[in-house]
Amino acid sequence: MSHPAPASAATSSPRPADALQPGGPTAAELLDFVQRAAADKELIASLPRDPEGRTWLRLDGPRGSEAWLIGWPPGTGTGWHDHAESLGAFATAEGQLTEHSLAVRLPASGWKTLELNDGVDRVRHLGAGRARAFGQHHVHEVLNESSTVHAVSVHAYYPPLPLMRRFSRSGAVLRLEQVERPEDWQ
């Protein structure tokens, strides 16, 4: 299989986050891409690994999507966040990742603190070879809970991420802490 080539150093301006662009990949196509990329041993081996912090390589995703190859040292995670109006998918290539997510759509704006209802929490364990897709406004955190094993995953989003909202959580209370734009993580 030919693996996705790392993206060029040039960055494009983000697309408006108000709607999915016609002709872009579906969630199923993103899922297929991340599964194929995660199975590509040569691509996975190309990722530099740091025992202290996450590492990543930008990839060319299908039909204008944004994609990343990410390394997760033991005990690392993302914290609670969403991907705004983007669809997404991720696949674990090595190790195991745990995803905590909320089965509720949050308001797109106009709030700083929300109290969550009972029963909205979901947990998934994705070992090597497992993948999942998600829709717009998906709130989650992804963790490598292992104390010894490095994990590697492939992620894809469409449209390319216009922003990410970061949250803190204390019990049933979710608080918006920060809004990141592409220039913050490029």
Residues 28-84: pLDDT tens digits? 999 999 999 999 999 999 999 999 999 999 999 999 999 999 999 999 999 999 998
Collapsing DSSP to helix, strand or coil, 27 comes out as: helix
Residue 15 forms part of a structural domain:
no
Residue 16 forms part of a structural domain:
no
* CA-to-CA dists, residue 182 to 62, 115, 163, 165, 178, angstroms: 19, 28, 6, 12, 13
Residue 100 forms part of a structural domain:
yes
56 near 69, Cβ under 8 Å?
Answer: yes
Q: CATH no. for residue 45?
A: 2.60.120.10
Asked if residue 117 has pLDDT above 60, the reply is yes
| Rounded distance between C-alpha atoms, residue 3 and residue 5, angstroms | 6
Residue 22 forms part of a structural domain:
no
Number of domains in the chain: 1
Residue 10 forms part of a structural domain:
no
